[in-house]
Amino acid sequence: MFVNKPVMARTAERKCAEKNGHLVSIHSQLENNIVKSKMGNNPRVWIGLKRRTVQNRPWIWFDGTDVDFGDWEPDVTDDQNYVSMKSDGSWEAKVNTEKLPFVCKIIDDCPISS
């Protein structure tokens, strides 16, 4: 779900959680392309990758899944603890004070009928 209301990363995660989801986690080139296609004309959107803690700690997805894919821009600095996707599909670390639109991955808790 794409939300075209620029907010800080932690606020974006809170808004996704209100809809029973998280900021999107991306685990393949196909998923990366799907998120990229939802961006419209926005130059950047928040995705659900963050540092476990500040300054050179491992990256984790808000939803707790493994980090098993990435399309990174180089040169991450110590104060950049959240990740955005750029319009070309590459990822860039940002500071939380930036306000960007965002993409949620909503968890479908509807029972599957057989």
Q: For domain 2-106, give the CATH superfamily.
A: Mannose-Binding Protein A, subunit A (3.10.100.10)
Distance CA 70, CA 78 (A): 19
- Confidence (pLDDT) at 114: 41
pLDDT at 112 over 60: no
Side chain identity at 48, as an amino acid letter? Answer: G
pLDDT at 113 over 70: no
Distance CA 9, CA 50 (A): 9
Place of tokens 């104060």: 79
Distance CA 49, CA 108 (A): 21
Q: pTM, whole model, 2 decimals?
A: 0.86
Side chain identity at 88, as an amino acid letter? Answer: D
Q: What is the pLDDT of residues 57-106, one digit of tens each?
A: 688 999 999 889 988 776 666 678 899 999 999 999 898 899 999 999 98
CA angle centred on 104, ends 35 and 55, rounded to 5°: 90
Distance CA 105, CA 86 (A): 18
- Confidence (pLDDT) at 61: 94
Q: What is the pLDDT of residues 12-41, one digit of tens each?
A: 999 999 999 999 999 999 999 999 999 989
- Confidence (pLDDT) at 1: 92
